Amino acid sequence: MATAHQIVNIMLDHMTNPSNASHVKLRPNSSVVLVVNNLGGLSYLELNIVAGSAVCSLESRGFHIARTYVGSFMTALEMAGVSLTLLQVDEELLILLDSDTTAVAWSKPVRMSVTRQKRQRVVPQE
């Protein structure tokens, strides 16, 4: 069985492959919005593992993750699975995405760094 990271990489490879007629045309080093959609049957733990793998994979490919939306946006009854959506964005589009709304299902994203940076720990000298 493949790991979540391997599955996410297969999905992203397919989405960004120029030989695929419906591929996403992303410029190198561009800012993107990532939507990780629970199709209905995943736990929050599983969904967030996929989201973390997608963020790591996209950052390793040189993309800046401007926003990440993780949740159940389009579902089917107890359908196990996940979908990934990528949107290349600029500052104008980010302002619109961050605007207030009365739509219950479209909450304002939490603004935080999702980059996995190694933490340095100071080891005390004995």
How far separated are the first and last CA of the chain, in Å rounded? 46
Q: What is the pLDDT of residue 94?
A: 92
Convert the pLDDT of each residue in 92-123 to its tens digit: 999 999 888 888 877 766 555 555 555 555 56
Q: What is the pLDDT of residue 104?
A: 81
Residue ranges per domain, the chain? Answer: 4-18+26-90
Q: What is the pLDDT of residue 114?
A: 56
* 3.30.1180.20, 3.40.50.300, 3.40.50.10950, 3.30.70.1170: CATH of 4-18+26-90: 3.30.1180.20
Highest mean pLDDT among 19-23, 89-93, 97-101: 89-93
User: Smallest Cα–Cα separation from 50: which of 11, 96, 100?
Assistant: 11
Q: What is the pLDDT of residue 58?
A: 94
pLDDT of 51 strictly over 70: yes
Q: Give mean pLDDT, residues 4-8.
A: 95
Q: What is the pTM of this model?
A: 0.81
Q: Report the sign of the C-alpha dihedral through residues 88, 79, 11, 22, in that order.
A: negative
Question: What is the distance between the alpha carbons of residues 98 and 78, in angstroms, rounded to a whole number?
Answer: 30
Model confidence at 84, in pLDDT bands (50, 70, 90)? very high
